[in-house]
Chains A and B, each alone.
Chain A
């Protein structure tokens, strides 16, 4: 009889032992992370035929398998990636949120309000030095906080970027490990048995890797796992490919795999979170803060630059923005204003420059038209230098420098000129004859004017070289041509161009001065007839303008007498008021019954009064008055940093202008040059609520509110998403646990079972052995 019995007994013992070992292994590893419980595959051995009977051959352990649901495992890995990314983002965003410190006393919102409040306190007594210092300090707190916030955000960005580098090296460690495990598993399983614990380790490594980057993995037929991230191979069949991260100076991070030149876009895992923070979240915040600061600087400087400090008109000023030599030819002057590298845009419009004679406080206003696409820097300098007593140039740094001669001052305000009739074209003391129509005048080469001046008769011949196009002659060109002939001055006369009209005037005033127009071929173009005379008067009418222009756009009013007469004496004498289109908008009664010197109302808050004297409609007296709401519609002062409140261009370098920091008296609060005028200050205060086109039509305060609100919303929704994902992760984890987790009670029951089996098997062996002994005794 073959010793089947003992063999069976032995196999039973061995199998029970294996099972017990397995139980022990499971119990020991019950808390090992990523451990899947193993179970022994026990099956009965095939029967042996003995004496025509199929006798069972006992039991043997076939395989030790691990119980794992690979689908759940894969989903778990993905979920881990999502949640890591969200948590990393949350950490970063919360840090950024705390930098803003809103809503709170030190937040930017409060500091902005504080700045405008301090301006409001100043507006009652704009010249009060204590209040001015307060306002300047409030401005500095605001700019300081902007600088601080920007630099903190930039540091946060850099920190996040450098963390990427640290985590990339962790990724590399893990991929190396996975690749090694790949080899080990392949080698082990070549022997036929599944490499359960190695596979568990590999699964854990994949889970850790997915916490760092988003991966997709698949198992090949040889048991190796290929890992890719967004199409880039991390772990291949035979080896792992290293990732490297490069941080550029501006904070941009580029990740590349192995020797490939194509950058890898990491969107998941904590590295994905860090990339989102450092490449889009924080840079977006920074650019919005910069837009806020840029708009604040532009609007504030626009209001401030047309104001005056309490010391009145400027003697000298240097701008803070440099013209850049864009075409690199060494000449700064030939740059177009739109291409001069200026941080703020110059717009199509005009700049008004006022020159004040300090000895008698009279001033004249000159208009400079600016088209950024056609006006060069040199053109601007030429126009400025053409103003009498004003000198303009670029300093060695390309900044605009303007200086007035001694005894004169300049400013850019929109104030009205109290004595607008600077050339005496409306009832002036000199004899004056104006052209009937305005430019262009249709003249021909060689046209003549024969005039009988106070000191002699003379002839003027107009040459086409004196004109751009003599058939469309401009008043200023005709005036220049007449004045350039020395005979004009010698005969006691001059020509003046005003408001597109040409005026012939005597050089002296008084009722004894007169001149006549005797003839000439040019007479018709100006609407004059031969024999017309003009006589001066002892009392100039001296129109006086008062009040404050309340309109919102720049315009002009022209005064034209309706007939000839004496102010205050001639019955029915009226002065027509024409608007900028030539439409009559008012008729002022200046005839008998009008007391000379009494102000008469003009539209939009202005008033004008006339003194005793005579005005002439026959001699085409007229006066044009500019009513300005904005004396720098070209925004050229902002672009060149002239008389600015804030210097800098964005949130990182915004600060209060150094000259104002040094001396708060340089804060331009006055709009008229008077010590306690606060017009410019009020314009500055109004920028707070003005909608800004650059900010999408909202005010700076609202824009900032949107930034903070958006930040809060994003964090809140990320928190919510994170909670949702966490719940999902927890449920996946518990599903995995149900399949692959170790139930202690279950194992203990198994332990009892196999212990009994072992006991029973050993009893059996004893029994079989004793039968052998019995057999032996028989022999």
Chain B
């Protein structure tokens, strides 16, 4: 191969060599000053595609991170509210147990009732906690107050206006956590178990299913007493203030001078002309009372049957006549409550407490205790204590549900915390990978730059020497 060199070829060679070295120097310089070896996708397309994919994954991480950060205050607020509610409910229970103490008098009980009222309103405030513009216990209906006090059948009840929906937030791939607890779950979870009666009327559950929530009062009202006592004895006031329901035998024993209703206590017949002879109250074994007028008592024995008829109501306004042979009497009110009562065992007119088990919320339960302690209908202490202690079981159910709700929020908060720390670790790893692909190793690129600089200098020096050699240097 005959290579014929020319000066032009030399010049071109030196020139292109210098350009090449200068370009390398500039690239190294660019990398040092920006700290990146991947300034544009064409610098390293594979790395660029990887970096974009990594950025998308980082996007995921930041998404979940942000979700956790915005959800946490809600959970914390919820937990602190439920904690306070828990304290309030513990206090309330303490007061209720105190109320069962037989040595308290009416004034003491009123004081307890007043304290309970204060506790109930505090609990209501807690249940209506707001974070910013929103009520945290309303489910997803958070604009309006979830719990409000209203009159139902003339009684104060707390009703729930929110819904039971959860607001779930994605805190990880495929991991959705609810950030709220609907008010019903915390303060009044529905776990219906049937109706129970507390009282002495003798009413019991009917055979058909009942519908409703909360508690109420079954009023058995005495309407009329029928029957002739005999021996010239009449019904005082035509039986208006009697409480007898059903048939009962009335025995007038002239020898003993007593009158007896059913198998109750025998009452001594007052002497003629004494005060109160016109209104003698005779009580049977169940506590049902009949008032008799002995003014025209002729002193003879008598055995008769007195019949008390009555009617029943669950709202205190609409009364249905009692059919004492009906084992499944249906009582309704205007709120959709349907109560079936077995009327066959009803023996006297009184007010019983009925309660839909598992369907009374915490506020109403406290209200019930307030009712019992303030005893506005003046029932005897045995009945009141029976009612008060029946409230405790339902109260404990609500308290347990509150703890469960608190625990749920707590475990969600923990999951979010652990999720967050996992995300932080993942973020660091991903950023490390991005940096591997994108960032320059400063030490090695500074070396590269020095190398390029040296090479350039050498190329310049040798080029200068090379180009100067021609024959012209030696011709005269």
Which A residues lie at the B interface, using CB under 8 A?
Answer: 30-31, 93-94, 97-98, 100, 102-103, 109-110, 112-114, 116-118, 120-128, 131, 538-539, 546, 548, 566-569, 592, 594-598, 611-612, 670, 672, 674-678, 682, 685, 701-702, 704-706, 708-709, 711-713, 715-716, 719, 730, 733-734, 737-739, 741-745, 748-749
Contact = CB atoms under 8 A, between A and B. Distances in A.
Contacts of A678: 140, 167-169
A103 B8 contact: no
Contacts of A118: 66
Contact of A611 (B51, B168, B211, B471): B211
A94 B12 CA distance: 27
A275 to B, nearest CB: 21
B4 A739 contact: yes
B165 A713 contact: no
Given A120-B66, A597-B211, A675-B140, A102 B52 contact: yes
Which of A31, A112, A131, A569 has most B Cβ within 10 Å?
A: A569
B300 to A, nearest CB: 51
Interface string B40-56: 11111100110111011
B64 interface: yes
Nearest to A685: B170
B213 A113 contact: no
Interface in B6-58: 6-9, 12, 16, 38, 40-45, 48-49, 51-53, 55-56, 58
Nearest to B59: A113
B3 interface: yes
A716 B42 CA distance: 5
B56 A709 contact: no
B71 A568 contact: no
A670 to B, nearest CB: 8
Contacts of B209: 566-569, 592, 594-596, 612
A712 B42 contact: yes
B6 A131 contact: no
Nearest to A743: B6
Interface stretch (B186-194, B367-375, B379-387, B391-399): B186-194
B169 A719 contact: no
Contacts of A675: 134, 140-143
Contact of B62 (A113, A131, A706): A113
A42 to B, nearest CB: 20
Given A98-B40, A595-B194, A705 B49 contact: yes
A713 B52 CA distance: 14
Contacts of A676: 134, 138-142, 167, 180
B231 interface: no
Contacts of A538: 332
B55 A121 contact: no
Contacts of B471: 744-745, 748-749
5 contacts: A128-B133, A538-B332, A568-B211, A592-B209, A745-B471
Contacts of A127: 133-134, 142-143
Given A678-B167, A705-B49, A121 B7 contact: no
Contacts of A126: 167
A763 to B, nearest CB: 21
Contacts of B336: 539, 611
A597 B167 contact: no
B100 interface: no
A102 B41 contact: yes
Interface string B340-351: 000000000000
Interface string B320-332: 0000000000001
B243 to A, nearest CB: 31
B411 interface: no
B213 A103 contact: no
B132 A128 contact: yes
Nearest to B73: A124
A233 B4 CA distance: 38
B52 A120 contact: no
Given A122-B70, A131-B70, 12 more contacts: A94-B40, A98-B40, A102-B41, A113-B56, A116-B63, A125-B74, A127-B133, A127-B143, A595-B194, A598-B190, A674-B141, A716-B42
A542 to B, nearest CB: 9
Contact of A568 (B45, B56, B208): B208
B55 A712 contact: no
Contact of B53 (A94, A114, A539, A705): A705
B443 interface: no
Nearest to A418: B163
Which of A125, A701, A704, A734 has most B Cβ within 10 Å?
A: A125
Contacts, number: 231
Interface in B200-216: 207-211, 213
Contacts of B358: 595
A676 B209 CA distance: 36
A571 to B, nearest CB: 11
B438 interface: yes
Given A102-B41, A121-B66, A743 B4 contact: yes
B107 interface: no
Contact of B6 (A112, A705, A737): A737
B41 A97 contact: yes
A715 B8 CA distance: 33
Which of B9, B44, B63, B475 has most A Cβ within 10 Å?
A: B63
A738 B5 contact: yes
Nearest to B328: A569
A612 B53 CA distance: 58
Contacts of B169: 120, 123-124, 678
A716 B47 CA distance: 12
A125 B132 contact: yes
Which of B48, B134, B180, B190 has most A Cβ within 10 Å?
A: B48
A114 B66 CA distance: 11
Which of B3, B16, B40, B53 has most A Cβ within 10 Å?
A: B40
Contacts of B8: 30-31, 737, 741-742
A504 B184 CA distance: 39
Top 6 nearest A-B pairs by Cβ distance?
A568-B209, A712-B41, A113-B59, A741-B6, A715-B42, A712-B45
A538 B139 CA distance: 32
Nearest to B63: A120
Contacts of A539: 211, 332, 336, 338
Nearest to B209: A568
A129 to B, nearest CB: 8
Contacts of B64: 120
A241 B5 CA distance: 40
A103 B52 contact: yes
Contacts of B70: 121-125, 131
Contacts of A131: 70
A745 B7 CA distance: 9
Contact of B165 (A548, A596, A701): A548
B334 interface: no
Nearest to A748: B471
Contacts of A117: 59, 62-63, 66
A708 B48 CA distance: 8
A738 B42 contact: no
A572 B220 CA distance: 33
A711 to B, nearest CB: 6
A706 B56 CA distance: 13
A443 to B, nearest CB: 40
B193 A595 contact: yes
A124 B470 contact: no
B59 A116 contact: yes
Contacts of A739: 4
Contacts of A30: 7-8
A715 B44 CA distance: 10
Contacts of B180: 676
B48 A712 contact: yes
Contacts of B359: 597
A712 to B, nearest CB: 3
B179 interface: yes
Contacts of A716: 42-45
